[in-house]
Amino acid sequence: MKAFSLAHNAALVTGSSKGIGHAIALGLHEAGAAVVFHGNTARPENMPEGSGFVQGNLLDPTAAPKLVADAFAVQPKLDLLVANAGSFFDRPFLEMDPETWDKTMNLNVRATYFLCQAFAKELIARKRPGAMVLVSSTNGFQSEEDSTAYDSSKGALVMMTRSLSQALIEHGIRVNGLAPGLIRTPLTSALGFGDKSLHYEKKILLKRLGEPEDCAGTAVFLLSAASAYIVGQVVVVDGGLTVSQIGRM
């Protein structure tokens, strides 16, 4: 179905040196898009030939507009954005300090907001329609132990998706969201989710943790003409994690 093709599009995917962002970037490439990858450090080795790369630390409050400018310099035809960059820095609520809270919000919320703003300004200046996907989390809908700052940031992204969709639709820019559940990534491995996989498999209807590639198809769909009548929605990609109250005993 040609509606799913991104052959005439170009996309920037933040946080795409590894994990979910990398899988999404590869999925967009497979669907035909020219892709600009992003990471904090050097250019990743496993990028498709001909792809662009921009480097920048989005914890820097001034980084988002520069990152967008650099991406358009690499690929002037950009019309798609996947705002995926984010991380987890939490500690128990009663031990939370302002620095950790600010670090979470600066990366997960502030950077995403001003990244989308800068990208939208570029599209509007070029009189070019486009689409964005904000990557939040099932933590934006359901709380998790010792995850108060992260949960709050991902909840903010859920509402940001809806709010930006209203702000930008008159400019021909569609905004939607993707909320992954428990996905096997370097971050979740470092947090020890893999050690609890049997417990999670009892809660997830598909009986397995997700893989980064499980998120790629949804991102392609939300950025393609196949979803042209979908605006301001957050699609949950969790294998059924949030469907069942109790899970299997």
The set of catalytic residues is: 150
Contact between residue 56 and residue 38 where contact means Cβ atoms under 8 Å apart: yes
Q: Which of 236, 83, 81 is nearest to 173 (CA)?
A: 81
CB 137 within 8 A of CB 104: no
Which residues are paired to 82 by β-bridges?
13, 133
Is 47 within 8 Å of 53 (Cβ atoms)? Answer: yes
Angle CA 78–41–109, to nearest 5: 65
Q: Are 183 and 209 in contact (CB under 8 A)?
A: yes
User: Which residues face 236 on adjacent strands?
Assistant: 179
Compute the distance between CA of residue 202 and CA of residue 212 in angstroms, rounded to an integer: 20
- How far is the C-alpha of 57 from the C-alpha of 182, rounded, in Å? 25
DSSP annotation of 183: B
Question: 31 is written with which tokens?
Answer: 């669907």
